[in-house]
Chains A and B, each alone.
Chain A
Amino acid sequence: MKAKEYKPLPDQAAPISTIGVIAWLRNNLFSSPFNIAVTIVIVAVLMAIVPGMLDWLIFSANWSGTTQADCVKDGACWVFISAWSQQIFYGSYPDGEIWRVNLSLMLLAGVIALSFILPARLRNKVSVPAYLFLPFVCLLILDGSHIGLRQVTTDLWGGFSLNILIAAASIIIAFPFGFLWALGRQSDMPFARSVSVTCIEFFRGTPILALFFMGSVMLPLFFPADVSVDKLLRVWIILILFMSAYMAEVFRSGFAAIPKGQYEAADSLGLGYWQKTLLIIFPQVIKVSMPNILATFVMVFKNTVFLLVIAVPEMLQVIMAALSNSNWLGGHAIEGYLFVGFIFWICCFSMSLLATSIEKKLDTSHKH
């Protein structure tokens, strides 16, 4: 006799209220009376604000034209931005020489890309010198007088490219300094330690604006009378010192994250102090500190806007100068500030996303 074949009943569909859009709405928007009320209020507020905002920003905004007279519609006057776009990105850098700024930016991008694509055995040998030479190469290209190009004095440098380049140049040079201060801070030599701690705490405890001010009013006094140091160079020095203090703290937490066994293994191999530090510890510190380094870079990048207080023509300063231009007295301040904010937001947000993804990749700990 043939065994009766077991035939399960077909699966019943899940109740309509637990799947799909309805369930999502119920769980996420209308799960309790309080949530229902909150959802309704938020939606009402959004309905009241968003259409008007979008209309002003996009639909009735003025997109094309070259002068203020082209801004005829009610919305935002983006013509203001496009008319000033060259100054916003390059400052007063001479027209024919802008390729030099672009070249510097491309070199920066190239060096960063290089450090990701190079095979591991070449990475430290090539990337580290490439990074360290980069600021000086850019300096030569941008100034131009030492390499046979037309000299462009630093008061003409400006715009968003200046924000990027000075932030990058500072954090690159701050790397070795910060590393040295971090080593000093955890060293056994009492005097070296106290010097490092003093440096770190001083530059971390002082408002960056006060440091910029000191760079512009006090630093000239520190140099001999016959030496005059360029303003941008002084700002660079200040930013390097400021960043070094923050990088030292980043590295300190990096050192703390390296297991003690790594130091002991290096010792048992008979490596000396610098061999141990540079070959074993440093690469690991860089790896675990990467998210914090990025966060620090975001911070210095945002802080470059503070330079407007000492009249360095960075992006916001250019916008403010454009706002007081007699051809553009139509009150485009909101457009200008929104644009600067948007650019900075894009840059900083993408960097913080990158930092988070690196952090996730590194995080192998188990959640309890």
Chain B
Amino acid sequence: MFSKKTTEQIKFETRPSNLGAKSFYNNPKYRAWIYQSFLFIFLIGFFYSIISNTLDNMSAQGIKSGFSFLNTSAGFDVLMSLLPFQTTDSYLKVFTIGILNTILVSIIGIIFSTLLGFIFGIAYFSRNYLIKKIAIIYVEIFRNIPVILQVIFWYTVFNALPIARESLNLGDTIFLNVTGLYLPMLVGESGSGFVYTAIAVAIVSIFLVRRWATKRQEKTGEQFPILWISLGLLFGLPLLVLLVSGVPFHFDYPALKGFNFRGGITVIPELISLAIALSIYTGAFIAEAVRAGIQSVPSGQTEAARSLGLKESKIMSLIVVPQSMRVITPMLNSEYQSLVKNTTIATAIGYPELFTVFAGSVLNQVGQAVEIMFMTLVIYFCINMTISFVMNRFNKRSELTTR
């Protein structure tokens, strides 16, 4: 209860009362009120002038306000969309497509940057001199070059690839050329539902088995080959169902028709360049975080584990990594958030994510800067809040596993 008072308040209360120090302006409570009311008046004036100026300027320039523009037809095409899109569709649809594209590239970026980050972060501790040096060089090079330059660089490299007819060919199934990456697509026929169900069942049963195994180990100390059983379940069960139901799948291979490829999945060069640049750039930061996290685990922990007779691999997975996660997770959280914010650099190469299509193209056509920027920023805040929420939940768990 004592700590809730400020030092100024304590000073005031413990001051001898005959000094006349009880005068109004010396009371920290009133002072706080006075300062804050000044701040309040300043803010009111500030926002009032901004808003009135904005309204004046907008009416002078003939810009409408409100969100009615969202239902107007866009009239331009979007380079890539996860939903079917026509030029006659509304701005709201463009907005949705922008959000989806942002989320897509964020997820790809987060997955690959985490992989790169953990690989290079752990490689830093390798006993092999070359691996260690490569990890350091990777981090120091890519962390210190502006990400927007990296994305433009990769895009330029991509544009130097051969044309469709001479595309790089991997076993006649995967093609890479200047117009993009072409992957075969798995198409489910009737009966494929059984396989999906089998995958779901496998995942659920893996969770159940893991739980049971942990409980049994806590009770009896017996270990269960959880990794092999999990892998067996994950691949075996769907495979079995697949064979029993008569392989209800076929691949849709991309094929050269005319000047370009048809069929399969097309990944546009903008998406690839952006994903590469973001993954490599953020990966360097994550590698640094992982290195710091592992270094933060006191060496006494490793030594104690060794003296207990644990294998080196078990020391890493059971002792060091769980404790280092406490340091790594908050840093991962901020790296993921900055990755999402950095997706906006897509505007330099024209990948149609939220910022490029909505704050770029739509804003150019409509001119309602305030509404459009507001909507765009709200989405980035929402995505980052979701990441923050998930990572904080994860952090709670990793905190529990430590002392």
Using CB atoms and an 8 Å cutoff, list the residues of chain A in contact with chain B. 27-29, 31, 35, 38-39, 42-43, 188-192, 195, 205-210, 213-214, 217-218, 220-225, 263-264, 267, 273, 298, 302-303, 305-306, 308-309, 316, 333-334, 337, 340-341, 344-345, 348-349, 352, 367-368
**Distance between B32 CB and nearest chain A CB, rounded to angstroms:** 5
Task: Indicate if the CB atoms of B380 and A316 lie closer than 8 Å.
Answer: no
Q: CB-nearest residue of chain B relative to A302?
A: B146
Q: Are B57 and A39 in contact (CB under 8 A)?
A: no
| Cβ-closest 4 pairs across A and B | A368-B298, A348-B144, A28-B129, A207-B341
| Contact of A207 with B342 at beta-carbon distance under 8 Å, contacts A29-B128, A368-B300 already known | yes
Bound-state CA distance A35–B134 (Å) is 14
Check B19 for interface membership: any CB of A closer than 8 A.
Answer: no
Q: Can you list 6 contacts pairing A with B, beta carbon distance less than 8 Å?
A: A205-B337, A210-B380, A302-B145, A348-B145, A352-B143, A352-B144
Q: Which B residues touch A213, using CB under 8 A?
A: 355, 359, 373
Given contacts A192-B39, A221-B53, A221-B370, contact A344 B146 (CB under 8 A): yes
Cβ-defined contact, A29 with B130, below 8 A:
yes
CB atoms of B130 and A225 under 8 A apart: no
8 A Cβ contacts from B128-181 to A: 128-131, 134, 140-141, 143-150, 152-153, 156-157
Interface SS, B side: helix
Q: A218-B373, A306-B345, A344-B145 are in contact. Are A42 and B130 (CB under 8 A)?
A: yes
Are A225 and B39 CB-contacts (below 8 A) given A205-B384, A210-B355, A344-B149? no
On chain A, the residues within 8 Å of B359 by CB distance are 210, 213
Q: Could you tell me if A220 and B57 are in contact, using CB atoms closer than 8 angstroms? A: yes
A289 to B341, CA, bound (A): 25
Write out the residue numbers on chain B whose beta carbons fall within 8 Å of the beta carbon of A205: 337, 341, 380-381, 384
Which residue of B is nearest A41, CB measured? B130
Query: How far in angstroms is the closest Cβ of chain A from B347?
Result: 6
**CB-nearest residue of chain B relative to A213?**
B359
Q: Which of B146, B153, B347 contacts A303 (CB 8 A)?
A: B146
Interface centre among B11, B141, B146, B149 (most CB of A within 10 A): B146
Residues of A within 8 A of B7 (CB): 263-264, 267
Q: Is the CB of A305 within 8 A of B36?
A: no
Complex contact A39–B128 (CB within 8 A): yes
Contacts A207-B355, A309-B347; A218 near B144 (Cβ below 8 A): no
For residue A214, which residues in chain B have a CB less than 8 angstroms away from its CB?
369, 373
**Which listed residue, B40, B58, B127, touches A31 by the CB 8 Å rule?**
B127
For residue B201, CB closer than 8 A to chain A, the reply is no
Interchain CA distance A349-B146 in the complex, whole Å: 12
Q: Decide if B8 is an interface residue (CB 8 Å cutoff).
A: yes
* Residues of A with C-beta under 8 A to B381: 205
Residues of chain A within 8 A (CB-CB) of B8 are 273
For A334, the chain B residues whose CB sits under 8 A away are: 153, 156-157
Shortest beta-carbon distance, A145 to chain B, in Å?
A: 26
Sample of 9 more A-B contacts, CB < 8 Å, known A195-B39, A306-B148 = A35-B128, A38-B130, A42-B130, A205-B381, A221-B370, A224-B56, A305-B149, A309-B348, A344-B149
Contacts of B376 in A (CB 8 A): 210
| Assembled-state Cα–Cα distance A267/B28 (Å) | 15
Contact across chains for B140 and A209 when beta carbons are under 8 A apart: no
**Contact yes or no, B11 A337, CB < 8 A:** no
Given A210-B355, A308-B348, A345-B141, CB of A39 within 8 Å of CB of B130: yes
Q: At the interface, yes or no: B344 with Cβ under 8 Å from chain A?
A: yes
The answer to the question of B363 belonging to the interface, with a C-beta cut-off of 8 Å to chain A, is yes
Rounded to whole angstroms, the CA-CA distance of A43 and B131 in the bound complex is 11
Interface check B43, CB cutoff 8 A:
yes
Knowing A31-B127, A210-B373, A345-B144, the reply to whether A217 touches B363 (Cβ < 8 A) is yes
Complex contact A43–B130 (CB within 8 A): yes
B259 close to A (CB within 8 Å): no
Among A220, A222, A225, A316, which residue has its beta carbon within 8 angstroms of that of B152?
Answer: A316
Given A205-B381, A206-B377; A225-B147 close (CB under 8 Å): no
State whether A341 touches B149 (Cβ < 8 A). yes
List the B side residues contacting A224 at CB < 8 Å.
53, 56
Which residues in B have their C-beta under 8 angstroms from that of A273?
8
B163 to chain A, nearest CB (A): 16
- Interfacial chain B residues near A340, Cβ < 8 Å: 149
Q: With A218-B369, A225-B57, A337-B153 as given contacts, are A210 and B146 in contact (CB-CB < 8 Å)?
A: no
* CB-CB contacts below 8 Å: B20-49 with A: 32, 35-36, 39-40, 43
Residues of A within 8 A of B384 (CB): 205
Q: Which of A38, A192, A316 contacts B35 (CB 8 A)?
A: A192
Interface centre among A29, A43, A208, A218 (most CB of B within 10 A): A218
- Point out the residues of chain B lying under 8 angstroms from A316, CB to CB: 146, 148-149, 152
From A303, A349, A368, B299 is in contact (CB under 8 Å) with A368
How far, in whole Å, are A258 and B355 apart by their CA atoms in the complex? 41
**Is A210 in contact with B344, judged by CB distance below 8 angstroms?**
yes
User: In the complex, which residue of chain A has the Cβ closest to the Cβ of B159?
Assistant: A333
Tell me the complex Cα distance, A199–B81, Å: 35
| Residue of B with least CB distance to A264 | B7
In angstroms, Cα B387 to Cα A110, docked, is: 44
Residues of B within 8 A of A189 (CB): 32, 35-36
Contact A38 B377 (CB under 8 A): no
Interface centre among A189, A224, A298, A349 (most CB of B within 10 A): A189
Cα A20 to Cα B147 with chains together (Å): 42
